[in-house]
Amino acid sequence: MGKNWRGSLALITVLLTMLVAVSCSQKPVETDPTTDAAAQEAMTDEAADATAAADDAAMIAEEELMKKEAAARAEARSAFENTNIFFNYDSSAVQDSEIAALEAKAEWLKENPGVRITIEGHCDDRGTTDYNLALGDRRAARVKAFLESLGVDADRMVTVSYGEERPADPAANESAWAKNRRAEFVIR
């Protein structure tokens, strides 16, 4: 009986070894091709959504930048037009205190080569109408010459005198007269 017992044990050992070997072998995992396509499509959709979101964000950022640049240009234009050059009583000489403003105007004009301007000469109401028209003309011409000396093309500028006809302040006191002795700038 000892021999049968050993043979049976050997047979059981061989069978268990085969069973373990068979169960440990890996079978290829079969996948459903429709599931793979759906997963790949979902990943493609997510990538497309992410790209679209990035494109939208870039477009919004570009629009905001364009709005800011347009606002900055409008502000610079307004500053150019609304910064007057003032003169002493009965004078057409550019004051030292006005040079920085004229330099800024010249720079803006050089940065905007398509812009053409009218320089208006104004006076206070003291003096005759003819005298004030001539003084306003001299003031506008002096400002134009100064801008030319800073590199602005003369063909882009015209001058006009309004004398005392368009006061900034109609009052008859030194404060009002000082506001009226000016050169104004109009973009045309």
How many domains does the structure of the chain reveal?
1
Per the domain annotation, does 82 fall within a domain? no
- CATH number where 120 lies: 3.30.1330.60
Residue 46 lies in a domain: no
Asked, for residue 28, whether it belongs to a domain, the answer is no
Report the pLDDT value the prediction gives residue 40, as an integer from 0 to 100.
Answer: 77
pLDDT for the residue 123: 98
The mean pLDDT of 63-78, rounded to a whole number, is 91
Query: Closest Cα to residue 184, out of 131, 118, 125, 128?
Result: 118
Residue 27 pLDDT class (50, 70, 90 cuts)? low
Q: Residue 179 falls within a domain, yes or no?
A: yes
Q: What is the pLDDT of residue 32?
A: 63
pLDDT at 182: 98
Residue 158 host element (H or E): strand 157-163
For residue 162, the enclosing domain spans 110-188
Mean pLDDT of 43-62: 87
Please report, to the nearest 10 degrees, the dihedral formed by the alpha carbons of residues 58, 60, 64, 70 taken in order: 90
